[in-house]
Amino acid sequence: MVKDFSANIRGELIHDEPMSKHTSWRVGGPADCYFKPADIRDLATFLATLENDDPIYWVGLGSNLLVRDGGIRGTVIMTNGLLNGLLLMDDDVIRAEAGLACPKVAKFVAKNGFEGAEFFAGIPGTIGGALAMNAGAFGGETWEKVISVETLDRDGNVHERFPSEYEITYRNVSGPENEWFVAAKFKFEKGDGEASLKRMKELLDKRNATQPANQPSCGSVFRNPENDYAARLIEACGLKRYRIGGAEVSEKHANFIINADNATATDIESLIEYVSETVERQKGIQLIREAHIIGDKYDA
């Protein structure tokens, strides 16, 4: 609970906010508290007002997040579109705040005459989410371009941290406990920005042809196992179009589970479990989930 939501805080605190409005699967029950910070300083002040044992969950664009139907007991920190400073600094370093959408940063980088940010165009999440997941696409990965990050801890202190302080692997990042990303500094190569913009468009067109871009999903549900593809294994088990409730394994890309018809989070979670069990039973491979699951199960 918030100890003292004083007049010093400029952001907005909302109670019982439906998380279905903030996740790309369009499911999820209410968050007890949902905070929209005015800026990083405001967020730091807010965090310092929280009780030490109050659970906090940071959310960007919710594009890799399944929030269960019972919702979230604790406080959601929303960054999307709120922490959105974007700056080209003197030394050709780009500083981007955590709530910026990755495709916006990709375009900014190209328009300033740099190359190498094309992969960001394919990630429908925020910079904060990309840092947390080491998001990647088209052969590029977030942390390859990071020089340093700025984090906030539970008491609202700001830290500058460097890649060497994190363990960074495929779609997984671990580092100092109880700290979250509020900004990052990136370095890209000088190059032909126009060509970079063109490449982004080509890559996105290619992707739209192979993924169910217009249906609610969280992208790939499982990480690819070494030397194989989760989608290939799922398809080989005959699971394309397999349905539980309103959740369905996409016909276009078997590693995508889509909200085909008013799915609940329970439908989606049950289907994730079913796919995982089936692949293990038939192929002997244990898939590792990429999508994060948070919140309480619905208690009718």
Residue 290 designated active-site: yes
Residue 220 designated active-site: yes
The residue from 171, 199, 223, 232 that is catalytic is 171
Using CA atoms, how far apart are residues 73 and 5, in angstroms rounded to an integer?
18
**Three-class SS of 63-75:** CCEEECCCEEEEE
Contact criterion met (CB below 8 Å) for 176 and 161: yes
Shortest Cβ 269–ligand FAD spacing (Å): 16
- Which residue, 129 or 295, has its beta carbon nearer to ligand FAD? 129
Q: Of 9, 65, 67, 275, which one interacts with ligand FAD (CB under 6 A)?
A: 65
- Which residue, 113 or 138, has its beta carbon nearer to ligand FAD? 138
Which of these, 120, 130, 74, lies nearest to 99 by C-alpha position?
A: 130
Q: For residue 219, state whether it binds ligand FAD (rule: CB under 6 A).
A: yes
- Grouping H, G, I as helix, E, B as strand and the rest as coil, residue 25 is coil
Shortest Cβ 240–ligand FAD spacing (Å): 17
Q: Of 72, 76, 98, 184, which one interacts with ligand FAD (CB under 6 A)?
A: 98
Using CA atoms, how far apart are residues 211 and 65, in angstroms rounded to an integer?
18
**DSSP state letter for 29:** -
Q: Of 124, 183, 185, 268, which one interacts with ligand FAD (CB under 6 A)?
A: 124
Stretch that binds ligand FAD, among 39-47, 62-70, 267-275, 281-289 (CB under 6 A): 62-70
CA distance from start to end of the chain: 25
**What Cα–Cα distance (Å) separates residue 101 from each residue in 76, 147, 238?**
18, 19, 35
> Which residue type occupies 164?
S
The residue from 217, 220, 250, 276 that is catalytic is 220
Q: For residue 132, state whether it binds ligand FAD (rule: CB under 6 A).
A: yes
Q: For residue 49, state whether it binds ligand FAD (rule: CB under 6 A).
A: no
Q: For residue 59, state whether it binds ligand FAD (rule: CB under 6 A).
A: yes
Shortest Cβ 86–ligand FAD spacing (Å): 15
Q: Of 27, 94, 109, 133, which one interacts with ligand FAD (CB under 6 A)?
A: 133
196: exposed, middle or buried (Cβ count in 10 Å: 0-12, 13-18, 19+): buried
Q: Of 9, 17, 19, 24, which one interacts with ligand FAD (CB under 6 A)?
A: 24
- Helical packing angle, 102-111 and 193-210, nearest 10°: 150
Q: For residue 75, state whether it binds ligand FAD (rule: CB under 6 A).
A: no
Contact criterion met (CB below 8 Å) for 72 and 34: no
> Which chain residues interact with ligand FAD by CB under 6 A?
24, 57-65, 79, 98, 122-126, 128-130, 132-133, 135-137, 180-181, 217-219, 292
Just list the catalytic residues.
Answer: 171, 220, 290
